[in-house]
A = this chain, B = another copy of it.
Amino acid sequence: MPLPYLQDLRHCAGHDLDGPLAHTRPALQRLKAAKGKGEYAFLDQPDRTDDLAAIEAAAARLRKFGAIVLLGTGGSSLGARTLAALVDGGAGFWPKGTPRLVVAENVDPFGFGKMLDTLDPADTGLLAVSKSGGTGETLAQMHAILPWLEKAGPLSARACAITEPTDNALSRLAGRHAIPILEHPPTLGGRYSVLSIVGLLPAAILGLDIRALRAGAAMARDAALDDPATSLPAHGAALAAALVHKGKRTTVLCPYVDALAPFGQWFAQLWAESLGKGGEGTTPIRALGTVDQHSQLQLWLDGPADKLITIVARDSRDAGPRFAADMLADGALDWLAGRTMGDLLDVSWRATAETLARHGRPVRILTIRTLDETTLGALLMHFMLETVIAADLFGVEPYHQPAVEDGKKLARAYMKGMGAKADNG
């Protein structure tokens, strides 16, 4: 079966990839040797079947609610958002009969209050996700939502927690409320967890084919580890390294697929947290075509020449409504006559790529035939592999995020310094 995506580096020909590409070989060899051994947990998620029954049982229990509130942040939320976009198109267009996923990542009390105001506790299920079980935001949200949700009935029937199998604040809280706890794989970092229960339980609740997500990821992985010459993620990592040598330190991900907008958020975390260390890394920029042609494109074309632009495009020719010549009845629109909305999208990304190339801006194009679970699984694995291979080229450790711990400690210290409250109610 052919890979469900292609990578086109034609517009990057001016940048010498051969050197960095050769340097990806040790990383590929290490990844290939580690496969199946649990050493890099993200690599082995696609082959798992041991967790499917638990995922599907929990999904069946939660699927009956009209809304599912997901409490979690960063790696605990962005994968679910990305997968859910297969259902809501990334824009909140939930089909009738499907639960809608409402993701609460922040602790803005005004935003959180607005969320609860629009939900009916009797028709709401809850999923709380924190690997460590100690994420302040998620615990605070839990304490805010549980009294509201409990009014509608026992939490055991309408809630679920995902955390690593340790005695932690989330597992203790869940235990006290008889909320079932599912296991976050303990060696799997949040930003690499989308193909574990962390992403797949929300996906299964929404009715997605979680086996196909994993199968697509396995396909992308298995095609990527043999040889730099044929490895698409190795080419992507080599491109990032080659461009850094030329001072290009920002990387734009611009899908021309509405449903891939959250994918850009997921990628931004993956890339930023994995590579942004010791002065290394490049800065991810989220974008979406065609709207960013009317927003950021001017800067990409004629601002600082410091960017790689990656376009992700789906074959959309002939798709969507066709513009009849007599309906247009307007000279200004002759160029649309007989074409479809999908044709317009198609020429838009092609023209943008070509224009960027003519301005000397490096453009990579990933194309997909369709957007389904298999394709999305493959894209997710592609970018996880590209990230860890790039980490090897940059000489950084991709699985930790040491700098952010300072801020967490400081927040707790600040809280202790706040004036004591008399009223704990």
Q: Select the stretch in A29-37, A206-214, A229-237, A279-287 that faces chain B.
A: A279-287
CB pair B106 A294 closer than 8 Å: no
Closest Cβ neighbor of A280 among chain B residues: B303
User: Which residues from 76 to 117 on chain A have a C-beta closer than 8 Å to any C-beta of chain B?
Assistant: 77-78, 88-96, 105-115, 117
A1 at the interface (CB under 8 A from B): no
A66 at the interface (CB under 8 A from B): no
A74 at the interface (CB under 8 A from B): yes
State A257–B173 Cα separation when bound (angstroms): 27
CB pair B114 A93 closer than 8 Å: yes
State A408–B284 Cα separation when bound (angstroms): 26
* A278-314 interface bits toward B, Cβ cutoff 8 Å, 1 = contact, 0 = none: 1111111110111101111111111111110000001
State A259–B111 Cα separation when bound (angstroms): 7
User: Which residues from 107 to 166 on chain A have a C-beta closer than 8 Å to any C-beta of chain B?
Assistant: 107-115, 117-118, 134-137, 139-141, 143-144
Q: Copies of this chain, how many?
A: 2
A321 at the interface (CB under 8 A from B): yes
State A341–B354 Cα separation when bound (angstroms): 49
A272 at the interface (CB under 8 A from B): yes
CB pair B112 A335 closer than 8 Å: no
Say how far A263's CB is from chain B's closest CB, in angstroms.
13
User: Which residues from 251 to 273 on chain A have a C-beta closer than 8 Å to any C-beta of chain B?
Assistant: 256-259, 265, 268-269, 272-273
Say how far A121's CB is from chain B's closest CB, in angstroms.
15
CB pair B418 A339 closer than 8 Å: yes
Q: Which of B176, B343, B354, B412 contacts A329 (CB 8 A)?
A: B176
User: Which residues from 344 to 366 on chain A have a C-beta closer than 8 Å to any C-beta of chain B?
Assistant: 344-345, 347-348, 350-352, 354-355, 358-359
Residues of B contacting A269 in the complex (Cβ-Cβ under 8 angstroms): 294-296
Q: Which of B93, B172, B421, B425 contacts A115 (CB 8 A)?
A: B93
A322 at the interface (CB under 8 A from B): yes
A303-B277 contact given A95-B117, A108-B345, A355-B407, CB 8 Å threshold: yes
State A320–B106 Cα separation when bound (angstroms): 13
What would 26 A/B residue contacts be, using CB atoms closer than 8 Å? A93-B115, A95-B117, A106-B291, A107-B320, A107-B342, A109-B340, A109-B342, A110-B259, A110-B314, A111-B259, A140-B323, A140-B341, A143-B327, A169-B332, A190-B294, A283-B285, A322-B421, A322-B425, A325-B424, A335-B412, A347-B414, A347-B418, A350-B411, A355-B407, A359-B403, A359-B406
Going nearest first, the 6 A-B pairs with the smallest beta carbon separation are A109-B320, A74-B294, A276-B299, A276-B303, A111-B258, A269-B295
